[in-house]
Chains A and B, each alone.
Chain A
Amino acid sequence: MADVILECRDLRKAYGDLIAVDGVGFSVEAGETYGLLGPNGAGKTTTISMIAGLLDNDGGVAIVSGNEITTKSTAAKAAIGLVPQDLAIYPDLTARENLRFFGKLYDMGGSLNERVDEILDIIELSDRADDQTKEYSGGMKRRLNIGIGLLHKPDLLILDEPTVGVDPQSRNAILENVERLGAEGMAVLYTTHYMEEAERLCDRVGIIDEGQIIAEGTRRDLVALVGERDRLHLELSGDASTVSDAVSTIDGIESCSSAGSELEVVTVSASHALPDVVLTVTESGLDVHSIQVSEPDLESVFLHLTGKALRE
């Protein structure tokens, strides 16, 4: 079992009467990317603010690399790299100066210059390293924003919605970077309200709503948890009811219904069932005009669990 880098237990935070975080608990291991998925206002930013030592919690505990995190705990903070949602760079300084400034705050000493060059290579800004960042494009600023979080080789990298407002090309570059970091053994805590990012990056996902984690696990765990199944929707050349019973007998098919020329099939695995379904239909003398496959995703899981969409 890999080392547990972050462990949160029963984290709580309220602003007056508003309970922002209500008993959140989860853990992240080395090399694991953990996604906190929830709509705006669900409590994601408050949770990571407590984990990053920006906010004192009202209850519970968060431990990073063996040290309890509070706003004053410098040892725990040294193990964390934070990439805030807003760009956190100084526009009048160059990329190199930004990196050196934050590196000094992390007391990186003699290795700083070498590490700064390394990071500039990783974020592909070496050729613009000595330009003031106010002259950078939005994507370049985003890359530097992430580079600063990586500078001191943290045990835990916290990324708070790093792709909000980012163009598709830069977004893809950011996601590739995060995938690489997870593969290199860094623990990554990633918050997003983009379901597709969570599905692509995260080994495990915690679904958070109204300050509570309402479900947690791998994507397949979560789908299974709510009983969601794959669906096949076929448009046929004739009366679909003539093949409905035959399709129902195929292994792995849970149900099959027809309406006119349309056939609706529910299965445990669309990829396994699809060839047999098509073969059964064609053997019965009908042609398949179109096929639509719907696999359950985290969006549908979230909808199932909360009754609302992620982007509400």
Chain B
Amino acid sequence: MTGAAFTITAKDLKERFRDRSAIMLAVVVPLGLAFVLNLTLGPVTEQSFSTEIAVHDADGGPFAAGFDEMLAGVEAEGFVVVTDVDSEEEVRALVRDHSVSTGYLVPEGFSQAVAANDEAELVVVVDPDQPIGSEVGKALADGFAAEVNAVRLSVATAVALGADDPAGLVAAAQESRPTIVLADALTEGRGFDFSSFYATGIAVFFMFFTVQFGVLSIIDERENGTMPRLLAAPISTQSILVGKLLASFLVGVASTVVLWLATTLLMGAEWGGSLIAIILIAAGVTAAMGLTAAVATFAKTAEQAGAITAFVVVVFGMLGGTFFPVSRISGAFSAISRVTPHFWLMEGFRRSSAGEGISDILPPLGAILAFAIVLGSIGLIRSRDLVRHR
């Protein structure tokens, strides 16, 4: 049986490599998509996100100093780079030529106006071509204004209740002012950085497309008329089945490994330890083969099978968190996502990416293998019937 199965595997692989669309689907498209997502959406949540800000302080008073101090705190976190400039014109010029996303103008008398409870103005100049940096800049100014207003309200309340040292209260309030802290809420607690999330998510999503060719090739053999010739040859039905599934497994593993290496080297994605990644990929490909075989074998033609499989794979991929973290959804959808192999693969890669060891990977790995056994058994039985069906 082995020789015939390997012969069929080799033939299928040769056909697959000559079919450029298959290579596109297996490697080029997912790799390209991962790159595009990383480049376009990555800066939103990437921990290394940073925007340039320019400040002209014409006031020099204590509240202007407080604003500078707040910006310095944010700069220390790595989210902004602050440049102090000497004039309002210089700030506006830097914004105009896109050198900075946001410019702050602290006018003369700003601190005095705040202390006197008069109207104080902090001017924010933004570059519309840097929308994300601009929004961050405005948010920082809003946060500072809200804080100042809170201090003002507290002092006014204290004075109304009989306090006799407003200047001392203001100073005390400034002393106790909490530093504004920005945190990467999108990546915090997920274990993935942005590149790693999209690299593994896209790889898992396309893995299910790539492996479907195994069962589709059985339908193709029937439609193309070559299946009778295989069945008439002095080989067993099992040889045909094993040969085709082995080709599908090898293509699935190879394409995912290529994505793993490419996204690691080119995007800096972190898939975790090599052994764990290989184990997860192999288990995932097996589960993917089972799912696609179980689904595609209900179709009568390769076209039908492709359509049904694509529908199931896309829905499962969405539910399973290959495009966005499942942690962002709740309720029924969160529960449903756990019945997809995609969820457990992503969970395995999340733990692996976070540096967790093999023992920590076992729960998601066990779930994936359970999917592989159940779906694979159904797929195997149905594929065997498919080989003999005429």
Contacts and interface: CB of A to CB of B under 8 A. Distances in A.
Interface of A: 49, 52-55, 71-72, 74-75, 77-78, 80, 82, 84, 86-93, 97, 101-102, 104-107, 132, 148
A101 B228 contact: no
18 contacts: A49-B390, A54-B231, A72-B236, A77-B234, A78-B234, A82-B229, A82-B232, A84-B229, A88-B226, A89-B226, A91-B224, A92-B15, A101-B7, A104-B3, A105-B4, A105-B7, A105-B233, A105-B235
B232 A97 contact: no
Contacts of A93: 11, 14-15
A72 B231 CA distance: 9
B230 interface: yes
Nearest to B11: A101
B97 interface: no
Q: How large is the interface on B (under 10, 10 to 19, 20 to 34, 35 or more residues)?
A: 20 to 34
A87 B3 contact: no
B225 A90 contact: no
Contacts of B235: 74, 105
B328 interface: no
A234 B388 CA distance: 58
Nearest to A51: B232
Given A84-B225, A93-B14, A52 B234 contact: no
A86 B7 CA distance: 23
Given A54-B390, A88-B226, A80 B232 contact: yes
Contacts of A77: 232-234
Q: List the 3 closest A-B pairs by CB distance, nearest first.
A: A86-B225, A74-B234, A78-B234
A101 B14 CA distance: 11
A106 B234 contact: yes
Among B3, B19, B235, max chain A CB count under 10 A is at B235
A97 B17 CA distance: 15
A27 B3 CA distance: 34
B225 A88 contact: yes
B213 to A, nearest CB: 13
A93 B10 CA distance: 12
Given A71-B237, A72-B236, A101-B7, 9 more contacts: A49-B390, A71-B388, A78-B234, A80-B232, A84-B228, A87-B224, A104-B7, A106-B233, A107-B234
B232 A53 contact: yes
